[in-house]
């Protein structure tokens, strides 16, 4: 599904339609004011504290024998597509859901297609986590990053039809709105060219002919990042076809001045179309099109346009300014999965091992399953210091020697010390205890070492844990040089 990059780049944006035009009767409204009104109707989305949207999605596509999925305008017609007697017909495709959630510090995007897989991206307020799973090839991947910027692709408008009348800038996706307007059109650059019935709605027809932009490839009009290979093949506007043969057509409701359709037209033929219907007021001055969709057009051997793919969207659930549950912004990373981690500034791929949970502020776990070779692991009346170590590791041996040197200090302050060895070799450990005159308890892990280390939150060796007099963990994972400060609290 998502590994077909040409298809996703084309399908995600989509505009194009057929229409008829009639003369405008009565007084003609001002085109620039209409554009400003339309754009203002989208701006409530910037004032919300939270928003949750769930779409039901249904694809229809032309069978593959007629046209290769993702074929772009100007590309050669696949073998056989010019021999059919009539234009290819759409066939029922996959169903799925789109889900969006955002509040003042978190963002979520989910695109799922039945039988194909899904893409889930979450910014949880601290880091970006992405999970993609492809059912057809039985493959999945996870990604981590420190920033949500450029990761959500304008969020809602990326795969839906609204809001699409202007560039938007959100805290997770900063854009230069003024610069992007050259792609969307400034209000004074639009002209009213007619009036028509568009999908059952009486609409003004507005058109915008771009003049100053570098060019439009695919994706959102200002997102010319389809990849060098794709750009070389299809070019920018002005390079491949020239600016004169491409323009945008808007359909704006006569009564309510809301957008109902936006079409990208190339060489007088529809290329991509978005439509927005069934507006519903979800809050004061907040209107949302509950039915949306888009169509992707292709050309046959004779240059005739036909619909190659269509997506119908219906909003099944909307929640505005409600507290969103934490589970929406959580992706569980499972042990053994492959992760591409870009948090360091460069992409590193590794097999994930979960970090053990922290014990800070919690009561010390049961220590009875750790056998002491010397001393006792019984509950002391004072503070307790535990050190997980491995005598075969130099930093661990150095840590133990430092603790041995502090033995009298521990005794004076009634601090019980237990050194817990993570490898079971009784003869070697007993020999080391004797040779180094270890004055405190030394324990051995006899059961599942990995399980015990996870229960105790041990992330590396050596690892020290300090409790208060009530056996509540006050510090963990610190160095010996920090010990005195930890003891003083």
Spatial distance between the Cα atoms of 303 and 87, rounded to a whole number of angstroms: 11
Q: What is the pLDDT of residue 212?
A: 56
CA distance 184 to 481: 61
User: 102: part of which helix (H) or strand (E)?
Assistant: strand 91-103
Write out residues in the chain with pLDDT < 50, as ranges. 1-26, 65-85, 214-242
∠ CA(386), CA(391), CA(392), 5° rounding?
A: 140
How far apart, in whole angstroms, are the C-alpha atoms of residue 174 and residue 154? Answer: 9
Cβ atoms of 22 and 194 within 8 Å: the answer is: yes
448: DSSP letter: -
Residue 48 sits at the vertex; the CA angle it makes with 188 and 46, to the nearest 5 degrees, is: 25
Hey, what long-range contacts does 174-177 have (CB within 8 A, 24 or more apart)? 174/149, 175/222
Cis peptide before 462 (omega within 30 of 0): yes
What is the model's pTM? 0.67
pLDDT digits (tens, 9 = 90+) for 375-386: 555 555 789 999
Contact 123, 329 (CB under 8 A): yes
The C-alpha angle 434, 436, 442, rounded to 5 degrees, equals 70
Residues 6+ apart with CB under 8 A from 436: 400, 401, 404
Return the SS3 of 406. Answer: coil
pLDDT tens track for 386-405: 999 988 888 899 999 999 99
Which CATH entry fits the domain spanning 370-488: 3.40.50.12500, 3.40.190.10, 3.40.30.10, 3.65.10.10? 3.40.30.10
- The residue behind tokens 């005598």 is 391
End-to-end CA distance of the chain: 55
Pairwise CA distance, residues 9 & 18, whole Å = 23
| Domain ranges, ordered by start, for the chain | 5-349, 370-488
Which ranges of 343-448 would DSSP assign to H, the alpha helix? Answer: 394-405, 407-412, 426-435
Q: Is 89 helix (H, G, I), strand (E, B) or coil?
A: coil
From CA 222, how far away is CA 78, in angstroms rounded?
A: 29
Q: Check: CB of residue 111 under 8 Å from CB of residue 119.
A: yes
Phi and psi (nearest 5°) for 421?
-85, 135
Burial of 164 (0-12, 13-18, 19+ CB in 10 A): buried
DSSP codes, 236-256: -TTTSS-GGGEEEEEEEETTT
**CA distances to 361, 424, 458, 474, 475 from 358, in Å:** 9, 25, 9, 11, 10
H or E element that contains 308: strand 305-320
190-223 exposure pattern, b = at least 16 Cβ within 10 A, e = fewer? bebebbbebeebebbbbbbebeebebbbbbbbbb
| Spatial distance between the Cα atoms of 403 and 416, rounded to a whole number of angstroms | 12
The tokens for 438 are: 């270890």
> What are the percentages of helix, strand and coil residues in the chain, rounded to 5?
20, 35, 45
């Amino acid at each position: 599904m998502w590994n077909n990059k040409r298809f996703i780049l084309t399908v995600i944006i989509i505009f194009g339609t057929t229409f008829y035009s009639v003369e405008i009767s009565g007084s003609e409204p001002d085109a620039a004011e209409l554009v400003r009104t339309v754009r203002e109707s989208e701006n409530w989305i910037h004032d919300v504290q939270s928003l949750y949207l769930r779409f039901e999605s249904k694809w229809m596509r032309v069978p593959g024998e007629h046209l290769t999925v993702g074929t772009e305008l100007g590309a050669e017609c696949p073998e056989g597509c010019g021999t059919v007697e009539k234009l290819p017909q759409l066939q029922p495709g996959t169903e799925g859901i789109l889900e969006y959630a955002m509040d003042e510090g978190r963002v979520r995007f989910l695109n799922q297609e039945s039988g194909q897989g899904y893409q889930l991206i979450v910014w949880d307020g601290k880091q970006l986590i992405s999970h993609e799973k492809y059912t057809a090839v039985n493959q999945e991947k996870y990604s981590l990053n420190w920033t949500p910027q450029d990761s959500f692709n304008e969020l809602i408008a990326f795969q839906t039809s609204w809001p699409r009348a202007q560039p938007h800038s959100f805290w997770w996706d900063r854009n230069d709105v003024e610069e992007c307007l050259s792609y969307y059109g400034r209000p004074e650059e639009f002209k009213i060219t007619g009036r028509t019935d568009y999908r059952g709605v009486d609409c003004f027809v507005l058109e915008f002919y771009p003049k100053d932009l570098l060019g439009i490839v695919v994706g959102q009009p200002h997102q010319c990042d389809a990849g060098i290979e794709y750009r070389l093949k299809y070019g920018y506007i002005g390079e491949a076809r020239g600016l004169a043969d491409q323009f945008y057509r808007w359909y704006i409701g006569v009564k309510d001045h809301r957008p109902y359709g936006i079409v990208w037209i190339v060489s007088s033929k529809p290329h991509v179309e978005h439509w927005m219907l069934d507006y519903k007021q979800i809050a004061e001055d907040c209107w949302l099109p509950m039915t949306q969709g888009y169509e992707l057009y292709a050309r046959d051997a004779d240059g005739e346009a036909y619909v190659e793919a269509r997506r119908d969207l219906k909003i099944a659930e909307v929640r505005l300014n409600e507290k969103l549950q934490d589970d929406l912004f959580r992706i569980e990373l499972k042990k053994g999965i492959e992760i591409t981690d870009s948090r360091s500034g460069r992409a590193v791929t590794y097999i994930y091992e979960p970090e053990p949970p922290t014990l800070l502020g919690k009561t010390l776990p049961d220590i009875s399953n750790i056998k002491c070779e010397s001393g006792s692991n019984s509950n002391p009346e004072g503070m307790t210091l535990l050190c997980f170590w491995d005598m075969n590791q130099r930093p661990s041996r150095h840590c133990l020697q430092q603790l041995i040197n502090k033995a009298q200090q521990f005794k004076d302050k009634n601090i019980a010390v237990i050194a817990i060895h993570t490898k079971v070799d009784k003869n070697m450990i007993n020999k080391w205890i004797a040779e180094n005159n270890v004055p405190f308890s030394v324990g051995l892990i006899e059961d599942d070492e990995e399980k015990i280390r996870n229960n105790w939150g041990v992330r590396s060796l050596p690892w020290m844990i300090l409790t208060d007099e009530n056996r509540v963990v006050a510090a963990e994972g610190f160095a010996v040089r920090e010990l005195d400060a930890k003891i003083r609290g």
